[in-house]
Amino acid sequence: MSKSGRIGSSAVVPASIKKGDWNIYEGVALLRVDGVEPHYVAAFLNSKYGHSQIRRELKGVAQPHLHLEDIRRLKLFVPEPHEMAEVSALVLGGTGRAQCAHRLFQDALAALETELGLDKLTIQKTVGYATQLSNIEVSRRFDPEHYFPAFSTFCAGLPSRVALSPLVNHLEFCQRGKQPVYAKTGLPVINSKHVQPNRVILEGNRFALANPVDDLQIRAGDTLINGTGRGTIGRAAPYISDTPAVADNHVTILRSSSLDPAYLSLYLNSAAGQMQVEMHQRGTSGQLELYPFDIRKFLVWPAPGELQRDLRDLYDKATKAERESKRLLDQAKTRVEQLIEAAVQP
């Protein structure tokens, strides 16, 4: 169970994990409940009756957290064995579909990296490296990260069938969002935390008024890339929802008619894309920035249509498995709530 951040979120350690494979982080509590199936326990803690108790036990204001003694005070509803087994089966089905989605995402990324020769690429960690003064004059960059030879080594070893070209040649639109005008209702706001590798989170978003500039509305088929923050910068994801959304000023919208958004997202999240993120980012460790004018300089591979379609097919199968996982896990939480409500009815 998470004690900080997404406080109260609970999950079961997979059976495939062997003793000693994982260490526990201080922000996570390890629970072992005697006589109660762990998948049921996770469903209960994730249900509204679990979360309502957890919220009451929170300590702190600016940074809420949960102590172990607070967790011990939580009351657990234990149903009949066959009811517990029913909930556990739903949780197992949901986690199984989530694992399937993860494998499909990894298969798509691995297939692309194999085509690019990244599976055979070896980068030597040298003590130092050099560049030409003319390169500094042209780029106006003095930061050593910009000249790290990883990407040039990748380009030198590309298979003959792969030819890179500037991303700007394949874009109709490349611009950061603007600071949203937040409201109680309106369009969902997409910020950096919602743009995860190859997926956009559309849960718990705040709402904002539509942007007066229509092009700055996120549309189905756009690709989003984070432009700020260590750990978040350079993460890319396709936007496949039919519901328009608003990007905040840390998210850049990419729009292309020749590159499938799922394919472009996979490329940007691959080693080929991330090497260019490190090469083109600006600023200090306190505030890193990836600006649209630098994103346009990225070199991408306009892969054959057949390959783009194959990778999109894997991507669609993965997102379908994710939706099915969410449905089953939500069903498990709902079933726990129904069992509790039935038990307390007079």
Residue 130, in any domain of the structure: no
Q: What is the pLDDT of residues 25-35, one digit of tens each?
A: 888 999 999 99
What is d(CA 81, CA 66) in angstroms, rounded to the nearest whole number?
Answer: 30
CATH code for position 209: 3.90.220.20
Structure tokens at 272: 């080929």
Query: Residue 191 and residue 247: Cα distance in Å, rounded?
Result: 6
Both 289 and 315 in one domain: the answer is: no
Contact 315, 266 (CB under 8 A): yes
> What is the structure's pLDDT at 146?
86
The answer to the question of residue 334 being in a domain is yes
Residues in the chain: 346
Range of the domain at 295: 164-300
Same domain, 99 and 224: no
Asked, for residue 158, whether it belongs to a domain, the answer is no
User: Domain end: 300, 319, 338, which one?
Assistant: 300
What are the pLDDT digits (tens) for 97-146? 999 999 999 999 999 999 999 988 887 777 788 888 888 888 888 888 88
Whether 133 is covered by a domain: the verdict is no
Residues 107 and 59 in one domain: yes
Q: Please indicate, yes or no, if residue 183 is contained in any of the structural domains.
A: yes
149 burial type by CB count under 10 A (0-12 exposed, 13-18 middle, 19+ buried): middle
Asked if residue 146 is part of any domain, the answer here is no
- Same domain? For 256 and 325 the reply is no
Query: Would you say residue 150 lies in a domain?
Result: no
Which letter does DSSP use for residue 136 in this model?
A: H
pLDDT of 102 = 95
Q: What is the SS3 assignment for 195?
A: strand
Q: Are residues 199 and 274 in the same domain?
A: yes
Q: What residues are paired with 287 via a beta bridge?
A: 284
Give the domain-ending residue among 262, 281, 300.
Answer: 300
310 vs 306: CA distance, rounded Å:
6
Q: How many CB atoms lie within 10 A of CB 25?
A: 9
Predicted local distance difference test score (pLDDT) of residue 287? 85
Number of compact structural domains in the chain: 2
Phi, psi values for residue 338, rounded to 5°? -65, -40
pLDDT confidence of residue 112: 97
Instruction: Give the pLDDT score at 285.
Output: 63
Q: Are residues 100 and 214 in the same domain?
A: no
Q: Count Cβ atoms below 10 Å from residue 133 Cβ, excluding itself.
A: 7
Confidence at residue 96, expressed as pLDDT on a 0 to 100 scale:
95
Q: Going residue by residue through the chain (346 aa), what tens digit of pLDDT does each one get? A: 999 888 999 999 988 888 888 888 888 999 999 999 999 999 999 999 999 999 999 988 778 889 999 999 999 999 999 999 999 999 999 999 999 999 999 999 999 999 999 988 887 777 788 888 888 888 888 888 888 888 999 999 999 999 999 999 999 999 999 999 999 999 999 999 999 999 999 988 999 999 999 999 999 999 999 999 888 999 999 999 999 999 999 999 999 999 999 999 999 999 999 999 999 999 876 789 999 999 999 999 999 999 999 999 999 999 999 999 999 999 999 999 999 999 988 7
User: How many angstroms separate the CA atoms of 331 and 130, rounded?
Assistant: 58
Do 168 and 62 fall into the same domain? no
